[in-house]
Amino acid sequence: MDTKPGNNFLHTVIADDLAAGRVQTVVTRFPPEPNGYLHVGHAKSICLNFGLAERFGGHCHLRFDDTNPEKESQEFIDAIQEDVRWLGYQWAGDVRFASAYFEQFFDWALHLVRNADAYVCDLNAEQAREYRGTLTEPGRNSPFRSRSVEENLDLLQRMRAGEFEEGSRVLRARIDMASPNMNMRDPILYRIRKVPHHQTGDAWVIYPTYDFAHGQEDAIEGVTHSICTLEFEDHRPLYDWLIEHLPVPTRPRQYEFGRLNLNYTVTSKRKLKALVDEGIVSGWDDPRMPTIAGMRRRGFTPASIRTFCDMIGVTRSDGVVDVAMLEHAIRDDLNTNAPRGMCVLNPLKVILTDLPETHREVLTAASHPSREDLGSREVPFTRELYIDADDFREEANKKYKRLVLGKRVRLRNAYVIEATEVVRDEAGEIIAVHARTIPGTLGNDPADGVKPKGVIQWVSASEGRRATVRLYDRLFTHEAPDRGDNAYLEWLNPESLRVVEGAWIEPALAAARPEQGFQFEREGYFVADRYDHTAENPVFNRTIGLRDTWAAAGEDA
RNA sequence: UGGGGUGUCGCCAAGUGGCAAGGCACCGGGUUUUGAUCCCGGCAUUCGUAGGUUCGAAUCCUACCACCCCAGCCA
Contacts of A343 (CB under 8 A, 6+ apart): A457, A459, A467, A469, A503, A504, A505, A506, A509, A520, A523, A526, A540
**DSSP tag of A22:** S
Helix axes A149-160, A102-114, angle to 10 degrees: 160
Question: pLDDT tens digits, residue range A202-254?
Answer: 999 999 999 999 999 999 999 999 999 999 999 999 999 999 999 999 999 99
A65 touches strand B (CB under 7 A): yes
Strand B-proximal residues of A, range 182-221, CB below 7 A, are: 182-183, 188, 191-193, 207, 209-211, 214
Q: How confident is the model at residue A555 (pLDDT cuts 50, 70, 90)?
A: low
Using CA atoms, how far apart are residues A268 and A282, in angstroms rounded to an integer?
18
A130 touches strand B (CB under 7 A): no
| A556: pLDDT strictly greater than 70 | no
Given A33, A384, A463, A515, the catalytic residue: A33
Given A55, A140, A269, A393, the catalytic residue: A269
Residue A505 C-alpha from the chain's centroid: 28
pTM above 0.90, yes or no: yes
Give the mean pLDDT of A288-306: 98
In this prediction, residue A5 carries a pLDDT of 56
A141 touches strand B (CB under 7 A): no
Strand B-proximal residues of A, range 158-177, CB below 7 A, are: 166-170
Using CA atoms, how far apart are residues A288 and A499, in angstroms rounded to an integer?
13
ipTM of the complex: 0.97
Beta strands A384-388 and A459-460: pairing type? antiparallel
Q: How far is the CA of A127 from the C1' of B14 (A)?
A: 50
Is position A33 annotated as part of the catalytic site? Answer: yes
Q: Tell me the pLDDT of chain A averaged across its residues.
A: 96
Which positions in strand B are less than 7 Å from the protein's CB atoms?
A: 1-8, 10-16, 21-27, 33-38, 68-75
Is position A259 annotated as part of the catalytic site? Answer: yes
